[in-house]
Each structure stands twice: as C-alpha cells, then as structure tokens.
Amino acid sequence: MLECVHAGLSNCTALAYKENLNFTTVDFNAIDTFLVVDQVAYQDAPLYYHVDSRVETTGSVQQQKAELELEKSGVLRASTTRLPYSPITTLLDLLPAAMAGEKVFLTLTRYNTTFANPDVFTVLDKTAENSALSPASVAEAADVMLRVLLPPTQNADENSHVTSVNRSLVEQLWGCFTENLHCNFLSAPNEVADFMAPDYSVGNMVDSRITDTQAAIEAALHRIGWTDVARSPAVPKSLRIPHGDWGATWEQDKDWMRLHNDSRYDLHVMSFWRGNIGARSTMVGSETVSLIFLILSITATISLALCVHVCVRK
C-alpha cells in the first residue's frame, strides 16, 4: 500500500497519480484505445462489448467508430452500464473527463452482465473445469480486436485482404499455456524436457528472478518477434511521493512478497460507484489463519461486551 492511502483515496490520487498517472512509466496520453479482453475462450457463447456510461455520455468519434466496427463483426452490446472490473476502470476513474472523452474504452467478453466463470483467478479456479474452452474462440475474439484496432479504410474494396489472426499460432500458444510450458513451440530443436504445467498463481520477482510461467511468456514474445521485451515493476521504486515514508512502504512490500509466495490473492480494481472505492486486494489465506482470526474476533467482541456490562453496573 502506498503511504498516501492512510490519508484517504483523494489524497492518494493527488500525490501518487496526479493527472498523468505517474505511478507507472506508461504514457497514457499517447494511447488512444484501451481494450480489455476477458473470458473470451468459452465456446458456443456470443461475444459482447461493454461500454461505461461515463464514456457513452462524452464518447469520442473514435469510440463510436469502434462500437460500430464491433457491431459489424456481429458482437452484441452488453446490458451493463459499467465496465467489468479491470485496470482500465481505475484509469477511467482517474483520468480527467476531457482527456477520457478523447479515447476509446471497451471491454470484449463472452458474458452479458456477469462473469461466465466467477472463480477465474481465485483459489476456486480448477483446470479440470476448462473443458468448455477452445483456441478457436480466442482466435475469433482476436480477429474482432484486430478489426477494431486496424479498421478497413473507407476506400477499401470488399474483396480486399482483411487482417486476421494466425490461427495455427494461436493453437500452438494455447497448448503451451494451458497444458505444457515445455512445448515444441518454446523448446529448442531436439530438446527433451520434462512436462511442466503452467501455474498462474500470483508470482513475485525475488532477487530479479521470475517464475517459470513468466519466463515462458517472455520466451513466447521473443519467439513471435517481440524482441524488445523489458520487465518493469507496476510501481517503480524510483517514484517518490511527497510527505510520505517511502522506505517504510517498501519494507512493508517485502513482507507482503514473502506472504504472497505461499498464498494467493485477488486484485479487485473497482470503479467509483458506492463511495470512494479504489483498488483493493483481498488476501486468500489458509483455513487455519481464518479460524484463528475468527476466534480472536469473537473473543474481542465478548470481552468488549463484558467491559460494557461491568461499566454499566457500576
């Protein structure tokens, strides 16, 4: 947690984010389109696009064009009025309205109002339950994304070449990142490696080392031509927040990292709708820890009740 959180979200926004969200090295002013893809692998389910009501009222011409392109591709407009939780909901909350109105904010999914699988990325997520997923569904969604990001020109012929996804590559990557990280696509020629299932539980860099799954993702990016791949923390240590004890914050982060190595957590990035709710992380620990916490809570409640009772009698 950043130190400014203790003074309230508005103070945190003023100190850490300002107008250009300088908690990261990404230049948001240089990005025109923010497109989130969520749970698009489900087969036999239609594609939906979600639009935030704040974007709809001040939507840019580019936003309208992107929505029209999606509808041309057969994508249905979702019934939601808020984008599903994702990093761009926080971005939309914190960008000035004038700046947000010039950009495109969309979420592409295979659910209308709520998550198709609410257990994804939680401790309840089970690989065995992914039988309804298919790489063809992912490729279809990727084709739709390409048509939004690279729309045909007005003078384009109907029979002209349309940019599309390499479906063979999608199937290869699907096999690597759902079944075996030591797949042929990521392995050197004639290399024989033991089977390794991908693990998407939360991983942290320790002593500049990354997890096997993260290393496979990096290798895949190199393999398909993205040679300039750099690793960067979400919150760079070079960031300095005025009037805050930054050193203590990073010491606290180290403790969290050690805890995260044997626990999983969900990061819920919430949009402002019921009060000032910002990013929240919910730790999912062991049953023992939860039981101890429950017992301590009950004990504290009973003790407080007894104290009040004694004070009243006096």
Q: What percent of the chain has pLDDT above 70?
A: 55
The listed range with the strongest mean pLDDT (180-194, 244-258, 261-275) is 180-194
What's the chain's Rg over C-alpha atoms?
23
Instruction: Name 105's bridge partners.
Output: 34
pLDDT in tens, 207-243: 556 788 888 988 999 999 888 776 654 544 444 444 4
DSSP labels, 214-271: HHHHHHHHHHTT--------SS-TT---TTS-HHHHHHHHHHHHHHHTT-EEEEEE--
Dump pLDDT digits (tens) for 80-104. 887 776 767 767 766 666 666 778 8
Q: pTM for the complete prediction?
A: 0.63
Average pLDDT over residues 39-51: 90
> Which residues are CB-contacts of 105 (< 8 A; sequence separation ≥ 6)?
34, 51, 52, 55, 63, 83, 88, 92
Distance in angstroms (rounded) separating the CA atoms of residues 152 and 97:
29
Least Cα distance to 55 among 81, 26, 76, 16 occurs for: 81
pLDDT band at 73 (very low <50, low <70, confident <90, very high): very high
Q: Which residues sit opposite 267 in a β-bridge?
A: 281
For residues 123 and 116, what is the distance between their CA atoms, to the nearest angstrom?
Answer: 16
pLDDT of residue 155: 55
Of 133, 143, 170, 135, the C-alpha closest to 74 is 143
Instruction: Give CA–CA dist 134/249, Å, rounded.
Output: 42
Nearest CA to 37 out of 150, 200, 131, 148 is that of 148
Average pLDDT over residues 262-275: 36
Give pLDDT, residue 170.
Answer: 94
pLDDT score of 243: 44
Does residue 84 contact residue 38 with C-beta atoms inside 8 Å?
Answer: yes
The two structure tokens encoding residue 226? 């993205």
**pLDDT tens digit string along 107-127?**
999 988 877 776 565 545 555
Tell me if 268 sits within 8 A of 279, measured CB to CB: yes
Phi, psi of 289 (to 5 degrees): -60, -45
Q: Kind and range of the H or E element at 159?
A: none
**Helix pair 167-178, 212-223: axis angle to 10 deg:** 170
Sign (positive or negative) of CA dihedral 177, 183, 189, 191: positive
Q: What is the pLDDT of residues 157-177, one digit of tens each?
A: 555 566 789 999 999 999 999
What does residue 240 show for φ and ψ, rounded to 5 degrees?
Answer: -120, 125
Which two structure tokens, joined as six digits, stand for 244? 């805050």
Domain ranges of the chain: 26-165
Q: Which H or E run includes 33? A: strand 33-38
Please answer whether residues 47 and 140 qualify as being in contact, where contact means their C-beta atoms are separated by less than 8 angstroms. Answer: yes
165 in Cβ contact with 143 (< 8 Å): yes
- pLDDT tens-digit series, residues 18-28: 444 444 556 66
DSSP string over 102-143:
TSEEEEEES-SSS-SSTTTTSTT--GGGGGGB-HHHHHHHHH
Helix and strand numbers (H, E) in the chain are: 10, 6
